[in-house]
Amino acid sequence: MNLREFNRILRQTLFLPILLLLALAGFAAWQIMRSSASVRAIDRSDELSAQIVELEKLIIDQETGLRGFQLTGDPKMLAPYQAAIDPINHHFDNLHQLMAGRAKQTGRLAEVRDRYQIWLGLAEGVLNKDPATLNDPQLNQHGKQLMDNVRTALDDLLQAESRVRKRRSDATLILERHEFAALVLAALVVGVFLGLFTRSRLHRVSRAYDATLEELERQAEEIYERRQWLQTTLESIGDAVIACNNDGKIEFMNAVAQSLTGWTGQEVLGRPLAEVFHIVNEETREEVENPVEKVFRQQTVVGLANHTVLISRQGKEYVIDDSAAPIRAQDGDTRGVVLVFRDVTEARRTEAALIAGEKLAVAGRLAASIAHEIHNPLDSVANLHFLLASEADSEKRAEYIQLAQQELGRTMQISRTLLSLYREPKAPVPVDLEELADGVLLLLERRLIQQGIQVERDFSEPSLVEGFPAELRQVFTNIFVNALEAAGKGGRIRIRIEPVPAEELRGTGTMVEVTDSGPGISSQAGENLFQPFFTTKGENGTGLGLWVSNGIVQKHGGTIRIANSSNDADLKGACVRVYLPAHTLASTATRATAHVS
Amino acid sequence: MGTVAASPLILCIDDEALGLQIRKAVLEQAGYRVLTALDGSAGLGLFFGQPVDGVILDYFMPGMDGGQVAEEMRRHRPEVPILLLSAYINLPSEVIQMVNFTVLKGEGPKELLDKVRQMLEMLHGGGGAR
C-alpha cells in the first residue's frame, strides 16, 4: 500500500461517517417534521373544539338574553343577545375556514348553522311581537325545541371533533413510536455500516501494515544474510584482509589477519591500524609508512615495498607481501581503505633455497668440465710420479718434475676458480670482467673443445666494475653455458666486452655481449626467459638460471637483455647483453644469493 | 717379452697432448710399444693400418668421442680389446658394455697398467697363448 492509497482510506474514514451522520440527521429532521405536523393537527382539533365550545356559550348567552327579554320585556335584557350576533357569525366563518376540506365536519357545521338560523328566525319573530304575548308557553316550548336541536347539532360537532382529535392523537403516538423505531433502526444501520466500513478499511490498512512489516522483515533478513555472506566470504579469503574507515580505524579483520597480527577481531575494532599492523623494513628495521595514509594521500592502490616485515602482537615476525586500496562508494567518495596481505615468509625461504640450489646447479653443470680439468692433470701427475720412481736420468727427472709442477699448477687454478664460485667478499669489490669471463671460459674449455665450438673473444680494454665476483661468475657461467649449448657441435660463440658511456637512465659501465650461432629464441620462449622454472632444455635444465642471473644483475643495478642477433650474418642465434654499472647499487644486505663463507 | 717384436703394440688416443705423452712414457717403461693419436679419426687410421694389440681410449674428445671410436673399431676388428679411460664417471652404459675395461683418470698408473695387462692376457688367452 502506497501513501496515496493510505490517504484515500483516511479521507474515506473521515468523510463517509460525516455524510452518513448528515443523512441520519436529515432523516431525523424529516421524522420530527412529520410528527410536528400531526401534533399541529391535534392542536387544530383542540382549537376547533374550543371554538365550538365558545360558539355554544355565545348561543346559550343569546338564548338566555332572549329568555330574559321574554320574561321581563325589558329590551335591556337583549344586550347579550345583540352582542353575540357578530361573534357567532364570526365563529361560524372561522370554523368554516378551519374545517375547510373536511366534508363531514363542514356538513355538521352547516347543520348547526341551519338549526341556529331557524332558532334565530324564531328569535327575530319574538323581538317583533307584541310585548304582551312575549311569554307564550307554546312559543317557549317551540323555542326550547329549536334550541335543543341547535345544541344537539353542536354536541355532534364537538363529539365528532373530539373523536377526530382522539384518532389524531392515537396516530401521532403510533407515528412517534414508528419514528423512534425508524431512527433507532437508521442509527443502527448507520452504526453497523460505519463499523463494518471502518473495520474493512482498518483491515486493509492493517493488512498493508502487516505486508510492509513482513517485507521489512524479509529485507532486513536479506540484508543480514547478505552481510553474513560478505562477512563469511571475507573471512574465508586465504589472504589477510583488514578494512579501515576514513579515520584509519579498523572496522573489519578476517581470521588470517587475526592470526598474523596476533589480535582478535573484537578488540581491534575501532583501533588505529598502525597499532595493530606494525610493519618494519626487514633490513633496516625502520618503520614502514602506514599504507592507509599512503592510500589517502595518493588515492590509488599501493603496494608494500619488498622486505616488509609484520611484527605481531606477540613479537612474531612475518615477511609479508601486501597491497592497500581505497574503498570507493558508488559516488566515488573514499569510504575507507582495504588492506590485503599474505605471509610470504615461506615463499621467501623457498626462493632463497631455489637461488642457493641454482648456485649448486651451476656447479653441477660444470661437473663434467671440472672432472676433466682436475682429473686430467692429476692423472698426469700420478703417472709422472710413477716414472720418477724408476727414472735414474737426472735430466729426465727434472723434466718430469717440471711437467708435474705444470700440471699441478693447472689443477690449482681450476680449483681456485671453482672455489671462487662460492667464496664471496662482504662488500662489493672491483671486478675485472675480462678476467672473470676468462676464468669461466677456462672451466668450460674442455666442453668447448670437445664440442668443437669456436670462441671469439673481443675484449677491447680492461673493464672494471664494482660487484660480487662469485655472483657475477655465476651469471656468466649461466650465460656462457647457455650459449655453448645453443651453439652445439661446431658452433661459434662471440663474447664482446666493452665499456659503455653514461646514458639518460644509466651511468657508465660495461656491456658484455654474448652471441651464439644457435637457432635463436622463439618469441614464445622470449616472454618467459626470466620466469623461474622456465626452461627450453627439458630435463637438463632447472629453469632457474636466467631468473637468478637476472636477480643478481638487477641487484648490481644492471640489466640483461636477450634478443635474436640480427646484425651479424654468421651469428644468427641469441644475443645476450648484460650491462653492469661501474658503480654498483648492491650491498651485502641486498645480496640475492645465500652467502657461503 | 724380451724381444722387441714380442712386446704388444698399444694404441693410445687422447686429445690431451701432455697427458698422452706422459702416459706413453709410463706404458713404454712397462715394456709396451705405444702408438699415439690426438683425436678419434687419427686413432682409427692407426688402428686399421697397424697390428694393434690393445686400445687405450679417452672418452671426452673433440670430434668423435670415445664411444663412436670404439663402435667403429668393434665393427671391423671386434677381437681387439679396448680400455676406456675417462675423467667422468657417468658414461653412457651402452659405451661401457661395448668396451672391455674402464679406468678412471686419476686412479693412478698402477691401476692402468694392471688393467692393460689383464686386457692383453685376455687377448692371448683367446688366441691360445699366454
- CA-CA distance, A555 to A178, in Å (whole number)? 116
* CA-atom Rg of chain A in angstroms: 69
Per-residue pLDDT tens digits for A97-146: 988 888 888 999 899 899 999 998 888 888 887 777 777 788 888 888 98
Whether the per-residue pLDDT at B130 is higher than 50: the answer is no
- CA-CA distance, B99 to B74, in Å (whole number)? 9
- CA-CA distance, A412 to A428, in Å (whole number)? 25
Say which range, A64-73, A236-245, A367-376, A390-399, has the weakest mean pLDDT: A367-376
Asked if B61 and A450 come within 8 Å (Cβ–Cβ), the reply is yes
Percent of chain A with pLDDT over 90: 10
CB A320 within 8 A of CB A342: yes
- For A151, the grid coordinates are 345544541
Whether the per-residue pLDDT at A232 is higher than 70: the answer is yes
Which DSSP string corresponds to A110-126? HHHHHHHHHHHHHHHHH
Per-residue pLDDT tens digits for B38-58: 989 999 999 999 999 999 998
Does B30 fall in a domain?
Answer: yes
**Residue corresponding to grid cell 737426472:** A394
Total residue count of chain A as it appears in this document:
597
Question: Domain range holding B119?
Answer: 9-123
Whether the per-residue pLDDT at B11 is higher than 90: the answer is yes
Per-residue burial over A202-219, b if 16 or more Cβ lie within 10 Å, else e, is eeebeeeeeeeeeeeeee
Sheet of A574-581, strands arranged across: A454-459, A492-500, A509-516, A574-581, A559-564
Does B59 fall in a domain?
Answer: yes
- CA-CA distance, A28 to A586, in Å (whole number)? 111
pLDDT of residue A143: 85
Burial of A380 (0-12, 13-18, 19+ CB in 10 A): buried
Residues of A in contact with B15 (CB under 8 A): 449-450
**Mean pLDDT, residues A422-441 taken together:** 82
**Residue corresponding to grid cell 580505524:** A249
Total residue count of chain B as it appears in this document:
130
Residues of A in contact with B106 (CB under 8 A): 374-375, 378-379, 382
Amino acid A317 reads E
Does B2 fall in a domain?
Answer: no
Q: What is the mean pLDDT of chain A?
A: 84
**Mutant choice from A373, A383, A443 vs B, greatest count of B C-beta within 10 A:** A383
- Confidence bin at B28 (pLDDT 50/70/90): very high
| pTM summary value | 0.49
User: Who among B16, B26, B65 is closest to A387 (CB)?
Assistant: B26
- The alpha carbon of residue A482 is apart from the nearest alpha carbon of chain B, in Å, by 19
- Confidence bin at A219 (pLDDT 50/70/90): very high
Q: What is the ipTM of this complex?
A: 0.84
State CA A503 to chain mean position distance: 54
Per-residue burial over A30-63, b if 16 or more Cβ lie within 10 Å, else e, is ebeeebeebeebbebbeebbebbeebbebbbbbb
- Which DSSP category does A43 fall into? H
Q: Is A375's Cβ below 8 Å from some Cβ in B?
A: yes
Residue A25 CB partners (closer than 8 Å, separation 6+):
none
Which DSSP string corresponds to A64-107? HHHHHHHHH--GGGGHHHHHHHHHHHHHHHHHHHHTTT-HHHHH
Asked if A379 and B29 come within 8 Å (Cβ–Cβ), the reply is no
B45 vs A392, higher pLDDT: B45
- CA-CA distance, A37 to A202, in Å (whole number)? 43
Q: Is B71's Cβ below 8 Å from some Cβ in A?
A: no
Amino acid A347 reads A
Scan residues 30-59 of B and list those with Cβ closer than 8 Å to A: none
- CA-CA distance, A58 to A64, in Å (whole number)? 10
Amino acid B11 reads L
Whether the per-residue pLDDT at A588 is higher than 60: the answer is no
**Domain harbouring B36, CATH code:** 3.40.50.2300
A307 vs A389, higher pLDDT: A389
Sheet of B54-58, strands arranged across: B33-37, B9-13, B54-58, B82-86, B101-104
- Of A579, A596, A581, A354, nearest to A479 (Cα)? A579
pLDDT of residue B51: 92
pLDDT of residue A538: 67
- CA-CA distance, A474 to A555, in Å (whole number)? 14
- Confidence bin at A335 (pLDDT 50/70/90): confident
**Mean pLDDT, residues A374-398 taken together:** 87
pLDDT of residue A301: 84
pLDDT of residue A130: 75
**Mean pLDDT, residues A370-394 taken together:** 84
pLDDT of residue A462: 77
pLDDT of residue A63: 87
Residue of A nearest to B21 (CA): A380
CA angle, A482 then A483 then A489, to 5°: 110
- Of A400, A402, A408, nearest to A379 (Cα)? A408
CB A480 within 8 A of CB A447: no
pLDDT of residue A346: 83
Query: In sequence order, what are the beta bridge partners of A313?
Result: none
Does B63 fall in a domain?
Answer: yes
Does B110 fall in a domain?
Answer: yes
- CA-CA distance, A274 to A268, in Å (whole number)? 11
Asked if A382 and B106 come within 8 Å (Cβ–Cβ), the reply is yes
pLDDT of residue A363: 67
Residues of B in contact with A390 (CB under 8 A): 29
- Of B81, B84, B87, B86, nearest to B118 (Cα)? B81
Does B36 fall in a domain?
Answer: yes
- Confidence bin at A473 (pLDDT 50/70/90): confident
pLDDT of residue A66: 86
Residues of B in contact with A446 (CB under 8 A): 60
pLDDT of residue A596: 37
Whether the per-residue pLDDT at B4 is higher than 50: the answer is no
User: Who among B18, B63, B106 is closest to A375 (CB)?
Assistant: B106
Percent of chain A with pLDDT over 70: 92
pLDDT of residue B2: 44
- CA-CA distance, A34 to A11, in Å (whole number)? 34
- For B108, the grid coordinates are 693412478
Asked if A371 and B88 come within 8 Å (Cβ–Cβ), the reply is yes
Asked if A375 and B25 come within 8 Å (Cβ–Cβ), the reply is no
- Confidence bin at A38 (pLDDT 50/70/90): confident
- Which DSSP category does A506 fall into? B
Per mean pLDDT, which of A293-307, A408-422, B64-78 is the most reliable? B64-78
Q: Is A407's Cβ below 8 Å from some Cβ in B?
A: yes
Per-residue burial over A129-163, b if 16 or more Cβ lie within 10 Å, else e, is eeeeebeeeebeeebeebbebbbebbeebbebbbe
CB A498 within 8 A of CB A511: yes
SS3 A253: strand
User: Who among B26, B60, B110 is closest to A450 (CB)?
Assistant: B60
Residues of B in contact with A403 (CB under 8 A): 18, 22
Does B3 fall in a domain?
Answer: no
Asked if B60 and A403 come within 8 Å (Cβ–Cβ), the reply is no
pLDDT of residue A585: 65
Total domains in the fold of chain B: 1
Per mean pLDDT, which of A31-35, A593-597, B112-116 is the most reliable? B112-116
